[in-house]
Each structure stands twice: as structure tokens, then as C-alpha cells.
A and B are shown apart, each in its own frame.
Chain A
Amino acid sequence: MALLSGGEMLVRSLAAEGVDFVFGYPGGAALHIYDAIFQQSEFKHILVRHEQAATHAADGYTRATGKTGVVLVTSGPGATNAITGIATAYMDSIPMVVISGQVQSHLIGDDAFQEVDMIGMSRPIVKHSFLIKHPSEIAETVKKAFYIASTGRPGPVVIDIPKDMTHPHEKFEYVPAGPVEMRSYAPVEKGHTGQIRKALQLLVSAKRPVIYTGGGVVQGEACDELTILAKALNAPVTNTLMGLGAFPGTDPQFIGMLGMHGTVEANEAMHNADVILAVGARFDDRVTNTPSKFCPTAKIIHIDIDPASISKTIRADIPIVGSAKSVLTEMVKLASEIDETVDQDANASWWAQINAWRERAGIYHAQRYEPSQGELIKPQDVIKSISKATNGDAFVTTDVGQHQMFAAQYYQFNKPRRWINSGGLGTMGFGIPAAMGAKFAHREADVVCVTGEGSVQMNIQELSTCLQYGLPIKIICLNNQALGMVRQWQDMNYDSRYSESLYEDSLPDFVKLAESYGHVGMQVTRFEDLDEAMTKAFAMKDKLVFMDVRVDQSEHVYPMQIAPNGSMRDMWLSKTERN
């Protein structure tokens, strides 16, 4: 019989879950746990410089691997700093286990030093949470937390542990957790076969089908099944911002991202479709534009693991609750069994229509922006240059804003889990720590953080973490010396009144900044130097390179849906030209 302290039990329980990395920051209420971590070698603890970065790093690690990320913070400010990252993971359904230290149990409620109600504070942004009341609960609770976080619709789970639960001198019998049994939680994996058959028949008989997929296909590891089905139907595929990479970005059947900054062909195809197959996507407002004008002629099949996502904003004609992988696998199998086939003529004329949209306004068919030249560097060309230097095969994280949209539009992801961004919450400061997490998971791969001079300053301190652990990520900063997306909206909707979106020569010298953190800094101000600088940066395999690229401040992200009251196809193609 092993007698262990709560701290030791926690460490053992994490190791039992196969944890490789814990991202965290120590503090008073977590010191017993950190002492137990010091005395083990099963997993590595990564010391970040701010708890928000710990959550984003764990998140980036998860998105790049599919494994549940683990965060450890102390009570009070440690916990509050983690909140933004927990909300980020929650909005994008990322499995994460966050362990927070808490003040000693007899002090809870007394406004003790570094006390906050972490369970209460995190309640609306977690899938579930636990407060440990006795050390003997730790093993089972950790097991449950990982199970809840990673099954069904994934999400973050918080375990709040009062300091006295992990005291090194108070030892209890350690009983490793058995299989999880929860009467009140039983996620559905397998879809209803009758519904799947109905859906397939509707798809096969469709004249203008579109397959619209989201993060659920990437996280549900259903990309191969999606590709097989799309090929069998010869249907166009569009991905949400969260779903990029689920279907090869350079495949002719891929019609680009849809929604607010989606392609004309994707948004037109959706608007004119007669059948839409939505998989692991949630019809959020950045996709649908005005719900009452959404896809007026389409019958909607919606596959999702979360029943609450179905018919939440847009009513589904054929709802199917189940995991993307299980349902698509069954659909592919049924497709090989049924007698009906796709109407070739209808399919050909649908593709003729889609190709006409592509040729008229598609961003991949022709360059839709002014060419870069001399000191005029267009941000789109920077993304293209990164793509060239990395053969389109890097792990790309971003922050939030124009650079994020340009990266989503122009990198063209051919594999899942390569595209890592905060889609739902839109968290600036996500990029660098997420890239750290991805790099820990894939030491040999190129990991790029595409960022802006605004976002990057929200977690710039992590350059220090990168030095400590030798993380040669590449940070490409699209520096337009303004909050680009804010500026774009102010330009388009507020008569160019740039309220608080300009920095007025207050930006740091990013080259010196990178150097002071022990990294390589580069600056590119001329388009002719861009490709060469990019190649040079990616050739430095052992060095973190921060590349400050001065891009055109006046450039906007297009296409851009017209809101409010627009349909999916109502878009600006430039400042003056409507679709």
C-alpha cells in the first residue's frame, strides 16, 4: 500500500494520463504541488512568464497534437490570469485540464491572501469543474477531468485544489483511479443510422450541394472520411476559420473559407446551395451573417457531437447527433452500398457556376490587390512568402486581427492541425504561446507565429520562455503601425475616424527587443528583400527569429461580408466594389 501526499498523488495521476508537459507558474497555494513536481521525472514542467501564456501554450500543444493540454497555476491572480486562456479554449472546444491552487480549505470564504472563487469565476467558461475536498479524491478527480475534457464536445475542466490537500507531510493511501463511471454524463458517439441514410440520399439527389465543415472535423480526426465523402459526391467543400486544413486547401474541390472574410465562391455557393452538409460547425454569426437571410434555398443536414449546437441559430432539416468520425465513416460506407448516383449534368453545371464565381472574384484565381513594390509591402504577399519558405507545411499560429485573416486566406493548409488560431473568442496574445506549445509537440517542424505589432505586445514576455527552453519558432510580425482590423472597421463604418487605433511612433524597435531576449531580430522594409529574408529566417533552425515586416497600413481584408442585414453573398470586394 503506497502512502502518498496529495501533491504526489496529483503528479502520479497526471503521469497516468500520459501527460508530457505541464505549462504553469508557481505561487504560494501551489508550492506543495511544485515540490512534488521537482521530485518526479514523468513529465516536464514549462515555466511561462504569465499564466495566460500557460493556457495558450497548453492550447497550442493540444491543437497541434489532439492530446489534452495541462495547466498549473496558483490561487488568486494566478487563477484570474488563466481565465482568458480558459475562455479561449472553451469557445473553440479545446480539451484542457487546468489545475489551480487554492487557499487552505479552512480559509475559503475569508477573503484570505490570494483567494478568489476560481470555481465560481470560471463556471461560465468551463465544461466542468471540481473542488478537491480530501486528498483521497485526487486520483479519481483527475481521471474524470481528463475524461470530461476530451470526450463529447471537448472543453476545459478546472480542478481547484486547496493548499492543505497537497501537504507533503499528510499522506494517504493512493488508489489509482479505475474506469470512469458517471451516470449524468454519457456523450453520444454513434449517429442514428436512419438519419444518416436520409442525409446521404438527400446529398446524392442534390443538384447544388455544399459541404461546410468546422473545427469538429479537425478535432474529431475525421478529415480522411470527409475527403472520401467529398470525392464520392464531387461536392465543393468550404471550411470555417476553425476548420481549415480538414480538407486539402489546394484541392480543386476546395472553395476556400466561408463567412465574414470568406471567398466569394464559398459564400455564393452556400447562398445558392440546395443541400448543405454541415459537419462539426456551429453556424456562428461570423459565418451566417443575418440568420433570416441565410441560404434561402438550402435543406440543411447538421452533424454535430453537441446536440445543443444543432438548430441553435439555424434550424437543421436533418439533425444527426454523433462524432464527425463515426457519422462520416458510416456515411461513406452507405455511399458505397446505395444504388443512387450523383446526377452528372447537374453536378457539371454546379461546378461551371462555381468556377464562374471563382474567375470573377476568387482570391486564388487572380491577385485582387495592388501589387507590392519597393517600400509598399502588401500583407497578403508576406503570407505567400511564408508559405513558399515553408512549402505550405508549417504549423501556423496567429494572433487576432487582419494578419489572422490574411493568414487564413493565403496560407492554404493541406493538412489538419497546422492552423492554430483563436477563432471563437478572438484572443489577442494567443500567437506566441500557442506557437510554443506547438513547438514542444513538434520539435522538428517549422512553427510560425503570424502576428501584428498590436497583438504581439500582449504576450511578448514569452520571448523569455522561448530562450529558456530553446524554442526556435519564427515570429513574423505584419507591422502596419496600427490596430489593423479596428482601423479597417473605422475606415469603412466610422468615416475614417481612427479612434485609439494608432500608435503614434511609440512602437518598440522589435529587432533590438528580440535581441535583448537573446533571439535574432530582422526587419524588412522593401518587397524585394522579403523572400530572401524569409528563406534566411527559416534556415536558422536553432534560432528564434522575430521578423518585423513593414506592411501597407491602408490595406483591408477582402472580401468582407456586409453587416448588418446582409446575406452570406452580400460582400465588399474592395472599398467601393460590391459582389
Chain B
Amino acid sequence: MRRIISILMENSPGALSRVVGLFSQRGYNIETLNVAPTEDETLSRLTLTTVGDDRKIEQITKQLNKLIDVAKLVDLTEGAHIERELMLVKVRAAGSYRAEVKRNVDIFRGQIIDVTPTTYTVQLAGDTDKLNAFVDSIGTDNVLEVARTGVSGVSRGEKVLTL
């Protein structure tokens, strides 16, 4: 089962490599990863998605918690949560197909943020399925380049990940 784990960690050199190193060292997979400082500059928030059964996820969260630089973490998929991923996708948009791309972008509520005579660069946010569906609808033949941020997320309601 796919899980989203969000981690608050010290914003110090080496902290990220400890988290990533732990995954390779213990044979866990990281499917997506994003990390940036939080409103408190001494902390970074790292969100990753991984796949595993309950037992494996329990080990992963315990091992992560053991890292000295990790202050707190949450498995967002344990409760109601919101997840988003941002994608920039450069699409061939020439001739009659140009209008079709625009229609698709509108349907998916994306934005065209760069235009050339033959390409559109589309910005699209949503969950992973939505982003995949957009790429499918455009057709991989017409997709020139994809840059995705990886999943980020928060719990719904009052629940927060903070120190």
C-alpha cells in the first residue's frame, strides 16, 4: 500500500542524506520525495511516498524517528488528508492539435504558463492520479518533457504536524 510520510527535521547539512541513506541502507523504496524549509527556518519539511505493508511502514517510521535530526513525523495516509503534486509539462501544440491541448488544459484546470508557436508549457496541480490522467489524455507522443515535484500533503482539519 502506498503511504505518504511527512517529516519535520533539522534544517542542517546532512539531514536529508541521513533520511535518504536510511531508505537505501535498509532496502526501502522512495517513490517520490520533496523537501523545503518551513516557516521556522531551522526546520525542514520532507514528504515522501513509499510502498509497503503495515509492518514495513511501522519499521520505516520507527527507523526514521531514531534519526537524531528527525524531530517529528506523520504517516498522512493513516487519516484524512490532502495531497497535491505540481507538474510542469511541455506539450507539442501545433496545428489543429493546439486547440485540443488548450481544451484539455481547461478540463483539468491547468494553466498554460509558456507559449511558443509549437509548444505549450502547462502547469497542473493535483493528486498523482489526476496528473497521470492528464498526461494520458494528451498522449505520451505529444508530451515533450515532464517535471514533477513529488507529493506534498497535510492532514485535514485541526490536526497539524508541528513541534
Which chain A residues have a beta carbon within 8 Å of chain B's beta carbons?
119-120, 123-124, 127-129, 131, 148, 153, 182-185, 306-308, 311-312, 315
Select from chain A the residue with minimum beta-carbon distance to B10: A184
Query: Which residues on A sit within 8 Å (CB–CB) of B59?
Result: 308, 312
Q: Which of B17, B25, B63, B68 contacts A185 (CB 8 A)?
A: B68
The interface residues of chain A lying within 8 Å CB-to-CB of B18 are 123
Q: Which residues of A contact B10 (CB under 8 A)?
A: 184
Residues of B within 8 Å of A119, CB to CB, are 14
B residues near A (Cβ < 8 Å) are 9-10, 13-14, 17-18, 21, 25, 55, 58-59, 62-63, 65-66, 68-72, 163
Closest B residue, CB atoms, query A315: B55
Bound-state CA distance A306–B66 (Å) is 8
Contact of A308 with B68 in the complex, beta carbons under 8 Å: no
Out of B25, B58, B68, B71, which one reaches A127, CB within 8 Å?
A: B68
Task: Please name the residue on chain A nearest to B71 by beta carbon.
Answer: A184
| Inter-chain contacts of B70 with A (CB < 8 A) | 184
* Least distance between B59 CB and chain A CB atoms (Å): 6
CA distance A119 to B21 in the complex (A): 12
Residue in A127, A148, A185, A308 with the greatest tally of chain B CB atoms within 10 Å = A308
> Please, which residues of chain A bring their CB within 8 A of the CB of B62?
307-308
User: B135: shortest Cβ distance to chain A, in Å?
Assistant: 36
Q: What's the Cα separation between A308 and B28 when bound, in Å?
A: 15
Max chain B Cβ within 10 angstroms of own Cβ: one of A123, A129, A131: A123
B25 to chain A, nearest CB (A): 5
A149-B135 Cα distance, complex, nearest whole Å:
50
Decide if A308 touches B9 in the complex (CB within 8 Å). Answer: no
Residues of B within 8 A of A182 (CB): 68
Query: In the complex where A119-B14, A184-B10, A311-B58 touch, is A124 in contact with B68 (Cβ < 8 A)?
Result: no
Q: Are A308 and B63 in contact, CB atoms less than 8 angstroms apart?
A: yes
Contact A128 B65 (CB under 8 A): no
- A184 and B14 contacting across the interface, CB-CB below 8 Å: no
CB distance from B148 to the nearest CB of A (A): 28
B120: shortest Cβ distance to chain A, in Å? Answer: 41
A-B contact pairs, 23 of them (CB 8 A): A119-B14, A120-B17, A123-B14, A123-B18, A124-B25, A127-B68, A128-B68, A148-B68, A153-B66, A184-B68, A184-B69, A184-B70, A184-B72, A185-B68, A306-B66, A307-B65, A307-B66, A308-B59, A308-B62, A308-B66, A311-B55, A312-B59, A315-B55
Residues of A within 8 A of B21 (CB): 123-124
Query: Complex: how many Å from CA A311 to CA B55?
Result: 8
A-B pair count, CB < 8 Å, reads 40
Q: Smallest distance from the beta carbon of B69 to chain A beta carbons, Å?
A: 6
Task: Given the known inter-chain contacts A184-B9, A307-B62, A308-B62, please indicate yes or no for A123 contacting B17, CB distance below 8 A.
Answer: yes
Bound complex: CA A125 to CA B35 (Å)? 24
Write the nearest CB–CB distance from A313 to chain B, whole angstroms: 10
In the complex the two chains form, what is the Cα distance from A312 to B10 in whole Å?
26
Measured in the bound complex, the distance between the Cα atoms of B59 and A307 in whole Å is 9
Kindly list 8 other residue pairs between chains A and B, CB separation below 8 angstroms, not including A128-B69, A131-B13, A311-B55: A123-B18, A127-B68, A153-B66, A183-B71, A184-B70, A306-B66, A311-B58, A315-B55
Of the candidates A131, A153, A185, the one whose C-beta lies within 8 Å of that of B14 is: A131
A306 to B9, CA, bound (A): 20
Chain A residues near B163 (CB, 8 Å)? Answer: 183
A124 to B21, CA, bound (A): 7
Contacts of B69 in A (CB 8 A): 128, 184
Instruction: Report the Cα distance A131→B15, complex, angstroms.
Output: 12
Give the chain B neighbours of A312 by CB distance below 8 A.
Answer: 59
Most chain A CB inside 10 Å of its own CB: which residue of B17, B18, B55: B18
Residues in B with CB closer than 8 Å to A131 are 13-14
Chain B residue nearest to A311 in the complex (CB): B58
Which 10 A-B pairs give the minimum distances between C-beta atoms? A308-B62, A184-B71, A128-B68, A124-B25, A185-B68, A307-B62, A308-B63, A123-B21, A308-B66, A183-B71
How far apart sit A315 and B54, CA to CA, in the bound complex (Å)? 12
**Alpha-carbon distance A420/B139, docked complex (angstroms):** 65
> Which residues from chain A contact B9 at a C-beta distance below 8 Å?
184
Q: Which residue of A lies closest to B163 (CB)?
A: A183
Q: How distant is A539 from chain B, measured CB to nearest CB, in Å?
A: 49
User: Given the complex of chains A and B, what is the CA–CA distance between A308 and B60 in angstroms?
Assistant: 9
By a CB distance below 8 angstroms, the chain B residues around A184 are: 9-10, 68-72
Note all chain B residues with C-beta closer than 8 A to A129: 14
What is the distance, in angstroms, from B41's C-beta to the closest C-beta of chain A? 14
- Nearest chain-B residue to A187 (Cβ)? B66
CA distance A312 to B59 in the complex (A): 7
Smallest Cβ-Cβ distance to B72: which chain A residue: A184
Distance from B18 Cβ to chain A, minimum over Cβ atoms (Å): 6
Q: Which B residues lie within 8 Å of A308 (CB)?
A: 59, 62-63, 65-66
Chain B nearest CB from A149 CB (Å) reads: 11
In the bound complex, how far is the Cα of B21 from the Cα of A315, in angstroms? 26
Residue of chain B at shortest CB distance from A128: B68
Q: Which residue of A lies closest to B59 (CB)?
A: A312
Smallest CB separation, B97 vs chain A (Å):
48
Q: How far is the CA of A128 from the CA of B14 in the complex (A)?
A: 10
User: Least Cβ distance of A139 to chain B in Å?
Assistant: 18
Bound: A361/B10 CA distance, A? 55
In the complex, chain B residues whose CB is within 8 Å of the CB of A315: 55
CB distance from B24 to the nearest CB of A (A): 9
A307 and chain B: residue at smallest CB distance: B62
A120 to B17, CA, bound (A): 8
Chain A nearest Cβ from B93, distance in angstroms: 43
* CA gap between A521 and B92 in the complex, in Å: 83
Task: Provide the bound-state CA to CA distance between A475 and B66, in Å.
Answer: 39
Name the residue of chain A whose CB is nearest to the CB of B13: A131
Determine the residue in chain A with the shortest Cβ distance to B64: A308
Distance to closest chain A CB from B7 (angstroms): 11
- Least Cβ–Cβ distance between A93 and chain B, in angstroms: 12
* Closest CB in chain B relative to A292 CB, distance in Å: 13
Complex CA gap A443/B14 in Å reads 41
Given the complex of chains A and B, what is the CA–CA distance between A396 and B63 in angstroms? Answer: 33
Docked Cα-Cα span, A475 to B57, in Å, equals: 47
For B70, give the chain A residue with the smallest CB separation. Answer: A184
Residues of A within 8 A of B14 (CB): 119, 123, 129, 131
